[in-house]
Amino acid sequence: MQKKSLAFAFIALLSSHVHAEMAHADSVNAGKTKIMSCISCHGEHGNSTMAMFPKLAQQNSVYIVNQLKAFKSGERKDPMMATIAMSLTENDMVDIANYYADQKIVAEPEGTFDDAEERTEHDVLVAQGSDLYRNGDLKREVSACIACHGPLGEGNKPAGFPALKSQHTTYLIKALTDFKNNQRGHHNDNMMHMIAVKMTEDEIKAVANRIATMK
């Protein structure tokens, strides 16, 4: 008897899992039909070509929905995104987020350098950024990015911490500078402002260059 009810419980669990997967696939497909107004800037697969437009591919869906809500409420300000977010329902946001989260991010091409000196400069910058990303700066109380954004820059979906890997350097510098100057609407207790305000411009540049190379 007990065995039987266990089997039933197992089947119920399995079928709820299958249902969840099907609902997810439906949402991704619906999302695909709702991104017409996003493609010109963010790309069909979320790999924008312009460095000021963030890549959305492989970004976690929780973070995408949060940002779209923030643009809609005006908490995060951007003239282009404000109008667009106004036209989206919460349901649209979820479908679009599921679609973009399912896409594969394309890494930045390896930089081209004029000479060996320029190459060395870039390597030094990336090494500095890598150190800051992993270890932070204890003396100046800059938290290690790895704690929230993960060892590979993959972010943390349940917590809503964004993935950062392979993002455009230019966009990363803008995002960090906006946080530093308190010009970006914030969630999660203003965490990023508290961190970025302690970073120098050089550190922002270094860590952004490092993150862009993470695959």
Interface positions with ligand HEC (CB under 6 A): 35, 37-38, 40-42, 52-54, 56, 64, 66-68, 78, 80-81, 84, 96, 132, 142-143, 145, 147-149, 161-162, 164, 172, 174-176, 186-188, 191-192, 195, 207
Our CB check for ligand HEC shows the closer of 6 and 50 to be: 50
Our CB check for ligand HEC shows the closer of 36 and 116 to be: 36
- Closest approach, Cβ 107 to ligand HEC, in A, equals 16
Distances (CA, A) of 62 to 59, 94, 192: 9, 8, 17
Measure the CA–CA gap between 4 and 32, rounded to whole angstroms: 42
- Closest approach, Cβ 30 to ligand HEC, in A, equals 13
- Are 160 and 168 within 8 A, CB to CB? no
Our CB check for ligand HEC shows the closer of 122 and 170 to be: 170
- Are 73 and 64 within 8 A, CB to CB? no
Sign of CA pseudo-dihedral 181, 139, 191, 173: positive
Our CB check for ligand HEC shows the closer of 26 and 141 to be: 141
Return the residue matching tokens 């455009």.
168
- Closest approach, Cβ 58 to ligand HEC, in A, equals 11
Distances (CA, A) of 79 to 38, 51, 67, 71, 85: 14, 17, 14, 9, 10
- Closest approach, Cβ 74 to ligand HEC, in A, equals 13
Q: How many CB atoms lie within 10 A of CB 149?
A: 20
Our CB check for ligand HEC shows the closer of 41 and 106 to be: 41
- Closest approach, Cβ 9 to ligand HEC, in A, equals 37
